[in-house]
Amino acid sequence: MPTSYTFIESPIGRLLVAGDGSALTCIGFDRGRRPVRPAADWTLAERPFREAASELRAYFAGRLRRFDLALKPEGTEFERQVWSALTEIPYGRTISYGELAARIGRPTASRAVGLANGRNPLPIVIPCHRVIGANGALTGYGGGLETKRWLLSLEGAPATPALFDRLQE
């Protein structure tokens, strides 16, 4: 099925939202470490993304804590396992990469979990921003650390001194 996309304005910048007509396959930031752009063969279309836009707006307004959208992230079996575990992190909570690795039964794979987390094609909806360093410090985020900080603040995630020290850098 061909990919269509639209742009959604948000408090953290313009988001590119893409899918195959039955499920979302991509949410991308237009800034940060890896800005996402539509592929040449994608079609601009707003209609398939009305529900996604509505849920994202509700989330950014603080009225939505869990998304209910059809998702189809493409990745390896391990990546999909990590992404599935990310959806189980409650709104407003954070965990470390090591804890996430333990949750999927791979307690020594925190580095691989971090790499899979960084390849998440559906950030925000699959909440990779809820994973932080073992010492409470913010770590990399595709939309940039300021965006990660904003999302955690929106959710009222507990702040630690290490988190705020890192934000000041």
Whether the pLDDT of residue 164 is over 50: the answer is no
State both tokens at 11.
């408090």
Average pLDDT over residues 65-76: 97
Compute φ and ψ for 8, nearest 5 degrees.
-125, 125
Residue 153 banded pLDDT, cuts 50, 70, 90: very high
Given this model, what pLDDT does residue 139 score?
85
**Structural domains in the chain, sorted by start:** 4-60 (3.30.160), 77-167 (1.10.10.10)
Residues 108-129 pLDDT 10s: 999 999 999 999 999 999 999 9
Strands (E) across 33-161 are located at: 43-44, 95-96, 131-132
C-alpha 154: how far from chain center: 14
Mean per-residue pLDDT of the chain: 90
Q: What are phi and psi of 62, to 5 degrees?
A: 80, 15
Q: Which residue has 């690795």 as its token pair?
A: 101
β-bridge pairing 15-19 and 4-8: antiparallel
Please report the pLDDT score of residue 160 as a whole number.
Answer: 53
User: Is-catalytic flag, 26?
Assistant: no
The one catalytic residue among 16, 89, 128, 151:
128
Query: Looking up tokens 């996402």, which residue turns up?
Result: 36
